[in-house]
Amino acid sequence: MPDTDSPALILDDLMVMRGDVALCGALNMAVHAGEIWHIVGPNGTGKTTLLMMLAGLLPIQQGRLHWQGRAAQEWSTLYVGHLSGLNSSLSVLQNLQFLANLSQQNTRISHIDDALMQVGLAGYEDVPVARLSSGQKRRVGLARLWLDPVPALWLLDEPLTALDVAMVERLNTRITQHAAQGGRVMLTSHQPVACVTHTVDLAQHVVVAEDDR
């Protein structure tokens, strides 16, 4: 049952657009506390674009996005996208401290060490990110999910890419735990994700170009 105390994130006739091109039809959905949404669809149907719009990276040109009437800007969001957000010449610790500071999370070294332990990178604090493998970089980006206080809305773009089985398992557990605490998660993945509670298929929203009439 959705938590009625916490307002839902509402997508109201939201058009997923890149520039002037609509990638799929208008979306109408409500994301309640405790829900984990899996956004699926073939390549090019706007999964990443939708997440970027929700994150405030792309302007919303048609339709509305709001938290039951309140501006979406009032909500803290954690976005893990295709780009890692990590500077390759800085160390793992320096990068995480910077990102934690941006999203007003605890930047104490011991706290970040704990998060690194959760993603299996204990002892990597002072290693420059340039020396990590792509899977390890991915883990550093995901370590932010274990930092307190964690933002309520998680937008994860292909979080499972380059992760090993054990880490996928741990990530599933963490997402479930976050949802149980009233958080909400929207993620894209071409692999099946065990913890999802809802699925939206962008392919079923594909618009027929109006010129075709």
Interface residues with other proteins (CB under 8 A) are 55-59, 73, 77-79, 81-90, 94, 97-99, 101-104, 107, 128
CA atoms of 13 and 10, how far apart (whole Å): 10
The type of residue at 35 is E
Is 17 within 8 Å of 4 (Cβ atoms)? Answer: no
No. of helices (H) and no. of strands (E), the chain: 5, 9
Which one, 75 or 172, has the nearer CB to other proteins?
Answer: 75
Which one, 55 or 167, has the nearer CB to other proteins?
Answer: 55
Q: Least distance to other proteins from the beta carbon of 56, Å?
A: 6
Is 95 within 8 Å of 87 (Cβ atoms)? Answer: yes
CA distances from 88 to 67, 107, 134, 146 (A): 36, 20, 12, 22
Radius of gyration of the chain (CA): 18
Which one, 6 or 98, has the nearer CB to other proteins?
Answer: 98
Nearest residue to 151 via CA among 85, 100, 86: 100
Cα–chain center distance at 187: 6
- Which token pair is 15? 């058009």
Q: Least distance to other proteins from the beta carbon of 115, Å?
A: 16
Which one, 90 or 168, has the nearer CB to other proteins?
Answer: 90
Q: Least distance to other proteins from the beta carbon of 95, Å?
A: 8
Which one, 1 or 185, has the nearer CB to other proteins?
Answer: 185
Q: Least distance to other proteins from the beta carbon of 127, Å?
A: 13
Q: Least distance to other proteins from the beta carbon of 141, Å?
A: 9
Which one, 77 or 172, has the nearer CB to other proteins?
Answer: 77
- Which token pair is 92? 């793992």
Q: Least distance to other proteins from the beta carbon of 161, Å?
A: 14
Is 39 within 8 Å of 202 (Cβ atoms)? Answer: yes
